[in-house]
Amino acid sequence: MRASEHLPEVFNAAEHFVGRHLREGRGSRVAIVSSELGKAADATMTYDELDRAVRKFAGALRAAGVHRGDRVALVLRDSPLLSIGFWGAIALGAVAVPINTLLKEHDHRTIFRDSDARLVVFDETIVDASQAKALVAEGAVTFNIAEAIAALEAATPIEAYAATHRDGFAFLLYSSGTTGEPKGVVHLQHDMWICCETYGRSILQITETDRCFSIAKLFFAYGLGNAQYFPLHVGASAVLYEGRPTPEAVFAEVKRHRPTLFFGVPTAYANMLAAIDQGMEADFSSVRACASAGEALPAAIFERWRERTGLTILDGIGSTEICHIFLSSRPDAIRPGSTGKPVPGYDLRLVDETGGDVPRGELGDLLVRGDSTMAMYWNKHEATKHALRGEWIRTGDKYLEDEDGFFFHGGRSDDMLKTGGIWVSPVEVEGALLAHPSVLECAVVGAEDDDGLTKAHAFITLRAGISSSPALVESLRAHAKERLAPYKCPRFITFLDELPKTATGKIQRFLLRARP
């Protein structure tokens, strides 16, 4: 699917996702529902209200000296203001930069500088207000929340959404970067539309009666689609929650807002299952489908979630670079442990080191072609050339496709292990160990044995109330041996209190590899 065949040249994403609903008679529908922390009453915004706020915010940006093409950085929790800021920047023809709220000051500074943000809106409980001016580029404007709201209220709304090109820059997302510096992924006006017409249409089958709730926050490419542009594409509602998504908080939000679509990451499903097993009450009766992405969903979690809630989790893989999900399970095609089949609109290839297609059933490097793929990494010419190959992008993931066309994740290209010259997928070993009743989480990396040969090393966290013992190690070994080929069984087992993770919840295997 190509934007150039479906969208006019003049296309503004904010007009499409917000303003268009007024023209099409959906102005009185609810666009956003949010539980503001500590407040009993919900805040709701209709499409009419959101459109006015977005055009006012664009007016406030203009008054503050922001021009078309300038970057507007947003360090805000999931809230109506973040939505208004994101669409407001795009409405003016500026480039919205939602930023990870969990990062440390050092990374915020890097991102403000690298994106050369002209204006930064920040939550003072995240960015120290006394430091804000020192963190941003020279001459940039900073607004804390109170200043942003005052500017919004005082502003004159822009008359019309900027007449941007469908291929113009719309937003940057800084990828969490498991290995190094954050990279700004550049997305165009048409990219979100492509995601809606591919994953949104064929997998979620989202309609205007849906209510979308995402544990993954809006600064994450996954959350941005889940709880902004998918619902806003069809005139549905987004449920926003600004707090930390503990199982308790998530269950309360689900009960309060009764979402129909629920989006999580595997770790969150595991934590929720642990809470349910400890007797916490969870009512997911309003939910018609659950999605998971960010890392592979182990079959054991899929099965237990289905047992406990009656719901199926659709595992899908997306990336910040491709904007959203391009390979996914679908309600009528699920194989636990598999990421499913290509989302209609995307083409996938599995290749070997020489770039040739690997035979069916063998692991290869995943290349993807689709029109939501980033234009480039901001200020990173070499990294851009490494990732983009014409219309194709290298995902850095290993996959195999089985005889029935289901794709199975085999880890990151850089995480793969070879033992005895044979590829071992750490994900497969982790899946086997996770099925052991004492294991909460698990990560497997390569470690050298006495001969300098690579063997699998499993780092394990245990469920509450269980402690490590020689008997447990024996039980884990027996369990692994039952499920895995001998060369795949972990040679080393280490118990940890917790696994090192990135701000977005991905296990930092490189830190485990670096352990003595």
- Smallest gap from Cβ 63 to ligand 3UK, in A, equals 33
Instruction: Find the shortest distance in angstroms from Cβ 348 to ligand 3UK.
Output: 13
Q: Is residue 218 involved in binding ligand 3UK (CB under 6 A)?
A: no
Rule CB under 6 A: say whether 175 interacts with ligand 3UK: yes
How near is the Cβ of 426 to ligand 3UK at its closest, in Å? Answer: 12
Residue 316 CB: number of other CB atoms within 10 A?
A: 25
Rounded to the nearest whole angstrom, what is the least distance from the CB of residue 187 to ligand 3UK in the complex?
11
Query: 3-state SS of the chain: helix, strand, coil percent to 5?
Result: 35, 25, 40
Q: Which of residues 239-298 bind ligand 3UK (CB under 6 A)?
A: 293-296
456 backbone dihedrals φ, ψ, rounded to 5°: -75, 135
CA distance linking residue 131 with residue 116, whole number of Å = 17
Sole binder of ligand 3UK in the list 161, 171, 222, 263 (CB under 6 A): 222
Burial class (CB in 10 A: 0-12, 13-18, 19+), 37: exposed
> Distance between CA atoms of 107 and 122, rounded to whole angstroms?
14
Question: Nearest approach, Cβ of 368 to ligand 3UK (angstroms)?
Answer: 10
- When CB distances to ligand 3UK are compared, the closest residue is 318
3-class secondary-structure state, position 472: helix
Residues 331-390 contacting ligand 3UK, CB under 6 A: 339
Using a 10 angstrom Cβ sphere, with 0-12 exposed, 13-18 middle and 19 or more buried, the burial of residue 82 is buried
Determine the interface stretch with ligand 3UK among 105-113, 139-147, 246-254, 394-402 (rule: CB under 6 A): 394-402
> From residue 396 to residue 435, what is the string marking binding to ligand 3UK with x (rule CB under 6 A)?
xx-----------x--x-----------------------
Single residue of 3, 325, 343, 443 touching ligand 3UK by CB under 6 A: 325
The C-alpha atoms of residue 318 and residue 429 are separated, in whole angstroms, by 22
Of these, 115, 214, 260, 319, which contacts ligand 3UK (CB under 6 A)?
319
Rounded distance between C-alpha atoms, residue 377 and residue 138, angstroms: 23
Nearest to 191 by CA among 211, 171, 215, 218: 171
Q: Which one among 395, 428, 457, 488 touches ligand 3UK, defined by CB under 6 A?
A: 395
Q: Is 317 in the site for ligand 3UK (CB under 6 A)?
A: yes
Give me the residues paired with residue 120 across strands. Answer: 73, 142
**Tokens, residue 361:** 């059933």
Q: Whose Cβ is closer to ligand 3UK: residue 168's or residue 266's?
A: 266
Under the binding rule (CB under 6 A), the answer on residue 176 touching ligand 3UK is: yes
Bridge partners, residue 443, by sequence: 459
How many angstroms separate the CA atoms of 162 and 11, rounded?
Answer: 9
The residues that touch ligand 3UK, with contacts defined as CB under 6 A, are 175-176, 221-222, 293-296, 315-320, 324-325, 339, 395-397, 409, 412, 504
